[in-house]
Amino acid sequence: EAGVTQSPTHLIKTRGQQATLRCSPISGHTSVYWYQQALGLGLQFLLWYDEGEERNRGNFPPRFSGRQFPNYSSELNVNALELEDSALYLCASSKGQYNQPQHFGDGTRLSIL
């Protein structure tokens, strides 16, 4: 069974630019979650999508947004990039809703210069 796949592996941007990160869930999973893992700050919940709808959002500004496509893949968009957005962005997927095991991808390392 193929795991969660994320692209690109690395992304380098400058302040003010926009970044798009992509995630393909495990086959059969309908929920996709996004987390930010910044150095020294652990994993912080960003967004949860299920069946194409945004179900929950973490304490991040509106310039962090995303969507889920009919095939359950997802995009995370970050606008007006700031230096502190430099982090590893992890995508996870699960079956259905509510407290199903979440399985992570390898992440996208976003570096802001």
C-alpha angle 68-69-73 in degrees, rounded to nearest 5: 75
* CA end-to-end span of the chain: 37
How far is CA 21 from each of CA 81, 83, 101, rounded to the nearest angstrom? 13, 17, 22
Q: Any contact of residue 56 with another protein (CB under 8 A)?
A: yes
Residue 92 CB, nearest distance to another protein (Å)? 8
Q: Any contact of residue 1 with another protein (CB under 8 A)?
A: no
From candidates 1, 42, 70, 84, binder to another protein by CB under 8 A? 42
Q: Any contact of residue 106 with another protein (CB under 8 A)?
A: yes
- Quick one: CA dihedral 66, 69, 71, 72, positive or negative? positive
Q: Any contact of residue 108 with another protein (CB under 8 A)?
A: no
List interacting residues with another protein (CB under 8 A): 4, 31, 33, 35, 42-45, 48, 50, 55-56, 58, 90, 97-99, 101-107
